[in-house]
């Protein structure tokens, strides 16, 4: 059911679709991708089959935020993947409107923490041939009013409301997030990834501290040194600097 495509505050050049219920905004983005005309945010009040990274279920109680940005970025698949950092920076700035920014941190590769708990997650999916990208979807979930019950989570979920902060309506949150994301895109178009990388590192959880990166093959423990120009995690280990292109991070 389509509710509205109007907004009081909205970045130029971006469309918006608001749904009452959908299986997942990521699935809806994949269905709409063949007819994509321009970057489009898809927001749903409820999702019935939302998923996170590696197909894990994503719990989305009513009142929490669930949206996907569908776009057709220029450049390679590696360039498109950098947008997880755009989204993290935009989420951090948006959440800081509702809570003290010193309580927030970004966690590589695609989470936002508040008081050490997970308040938001980011998921990227794309399609294309060779090194190009036909379309990219950036799924974002934020715990605004409810804290999902997730057993044995390394980073227990937390919500704005549970931490005593004001919980905005998801539509209001999207307006601010869309503006902040468009700002990241504008920075990238003019100056490249370097300033986005620097901004992300300034917000990064456990930078300069020992963390563990877990891949399907191994665990690598070392000092979180930096991320490189491709967004790869760089750990300082007893055997030297170790690049980690993809992993789950624990600390």
Which pair of tokens denotes residue 244? 């980690």
Residue 52 token pair:
């996170």
CA–CA separation, 153 vs 58, rounded Å?
13
Query: Taking the model in full, what pTM does it have?
Result: 0.92
109 upstream amide cis, omega within 30 of 0: yes
Separation of first and last alpha carbons in the chain: 42
Size of the chain, expressed as the number of residues it contains:
251
Distance CA 85, CA 201 (A): 10
- Model pLDDT for residues 196-243, shown as the tens digit of each residue: 999 999 999 999 999 999 999 999 999 999 999 999 999 999 999 999
Q: Is 130 exposed, middle or buried (0-12, 13-18, 19+ CB in 10 A)?
A: exposed
The C-alpha atoms of residue 68 and residue 47 are separated, in whole angstroms, by: 12
Indicate if the pLDDT at residue 85 is higher than 50. yes
pLDDT tens per residue, range 9-66: 899 999 999 999 999 999 999 999 999 999 999 999 999 987 765 556 666 678 999 9
pLDDT tens-digit map of 175-205:
999 999 999 999 999 999 999 999 999 999 9
DSSP-H helix ranges across 96-169: none
């Amino acid at each position: 059911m389509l509710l509205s495509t109007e907004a009081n505050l909205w970045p130029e050049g971006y469309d918006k679709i608001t749904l009452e219920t959908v299986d997942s905004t990521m699935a809806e983005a994949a269905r709409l991708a063949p007819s994509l005309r321009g970057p489009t945010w898809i927001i749903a009040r409820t999702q019935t089959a939302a998923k996170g990274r590696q197909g894990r279920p994503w719990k989305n109680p009513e009142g929490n935020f669930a949206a996907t940005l569908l776009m057709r970025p220029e450049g390679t698949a590696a360039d498109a993947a950098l947008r997880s950092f755009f989204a993290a920076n935009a989420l951090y700035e948006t959440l800081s409107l509702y809570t003290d920014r010193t309580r927030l941190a970004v966690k590589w590769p695609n989470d936002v923490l508040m008081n050490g708990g997970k308040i938001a997650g980011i998921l990227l999916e794309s399609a294309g041939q060779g090194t190009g990208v036909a379309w990219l979807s950036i799924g974002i979930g934020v715990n605004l009013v409810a804290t999902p019950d997730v057993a044995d989570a390394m980073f227990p979920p937390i919500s704005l409301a549970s931490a005593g902060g004001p919980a905005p309506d998801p539509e209001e949150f999207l307006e601010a997030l869309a503006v902040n994301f468009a700002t990241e895109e504008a920075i990238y178009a003019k100056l490249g990834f370097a300033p986005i990388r620097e901004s992300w590192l300034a917000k990064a959880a456990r930078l300069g501290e020992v963390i563990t990166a877990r891949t399907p093959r191994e665990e690598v423990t070392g000092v979180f040194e930096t991320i490189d120009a491709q967004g790869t995690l760089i750990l300082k280990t007893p055997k030297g600097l170790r690049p980690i292109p993809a992993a789950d991070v624990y600390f």
